[in-house]
């Protein structure tokens, strides 16, 4: 992951861990790098890294074991999945529909484009 300066860094750290959970690079009960490891590796302020990690703890995606570290919870993948699914509309569907309206594309046009794109990928 490469950090960019135009978005809160804690969010980027958070999404990075979530991505690893979604694609199972981090499995259930696996250890998540610590705040200090993130801070040192990405050369970011430790408080910033901690903010991202603490939000994941609050959301039940990772949990702290005292003196040992942080680990992926059993329900982590499901929580992240649900979260991403509800963000999907705002992040992808709404902008797509706005652009479609600008270009005068109908609902049918959109469905056709999605289907075609899928076929194209299969070939």
Partner 1 sequence: MKIEVINLSKRYGKKTALQNLNFLIEEPKIYGLLGKNGAGKTTFMELLSGLMRASSGELLVDGVTPFDNQRMMENICFVGEANNFKKELKVKHVLNINRLFYPTWDHSLAEELIANFNLDMDTKVKALSKGMESALGIVVGLASKAAITIFDEPYIGLDASSRSYFYELLIEHYDKYPRTIILSTHLIDEVSALFEEVIILENGQLLLKEEAETLRESCFSISGERQKINNFTAEKKVIYQKDFMNERTVVLLEEDRTTIENAGFSIHTVSLQDLIVYLTDKKREVKQ
Residue ranges that bind partner 1, judged by CB under 8 A: 3-10, 36, 39-40, 42-48, 51, 98
Q: How far is the CB of 40 from partner 1 (least distance, A)?
A: 6
Nearer to partner 1 (CB atom), residue 43 or residue 65:
43
CA-based nearest residue to 44, from 85, 9, 11: 9
Q: Is 112 helix (H, G, I), strand (E, B) or coil?
A: helix
Q: What CA–CA distance (Å, rounded) separates 27 from 21? A: 6
Q: How far is the CB of 2 from partner 1 (least distance, A)?
A: 11
Q: How many C-beta atoms lie closer than 10 Å to residue 31's C-beta?
A: 13
Nearer to partner 1 (CB atom), residue 36 or residue 75:
36
CB-count exposure of residue 36 (10 Å: 0-12, 13-18, 19+) = exposed
Q: How far is the CB of 54 from partner 1 (least distance, A)?
A: 13
Q: What CA–CA distance (Å, rounded) separates 22 from 105? A: 33
Q: How far is the CB of 14 from partner 1 (least distance, A)?
A: 12
Nearer to partner 1 (CB atom), residue 9 or residue 26:
9
Nearer to partner 1 (CB atom), residue 25 or residue 45:
45
């Amino acid at each position: 992951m490469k950090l960019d300066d135009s978005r809160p860094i804690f969010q980027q750290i958070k999404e990075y861990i979530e991505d690893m959970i979604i694609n199972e690079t981090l499995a259930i009960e696996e250890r998540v790098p610590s705040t200090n490891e993130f801070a040192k590796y990405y050369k970011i302020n430790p408080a910033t890294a901690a903010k991202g990690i603490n939000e994941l703890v609050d959301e039940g995606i990772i949990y702290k074991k005292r003196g040992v570290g942080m680990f992926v919870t059993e329900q982590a993948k499901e929580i992240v999945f649900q979260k991403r699914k509800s963000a999907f509309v705002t992040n992808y569907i709404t902008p797509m529909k706005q652009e479609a309206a600008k270009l005068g594309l109908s609902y049918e046009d959109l469905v056709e484009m999605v289907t075609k794109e899928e076929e194209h990928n299969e070939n």
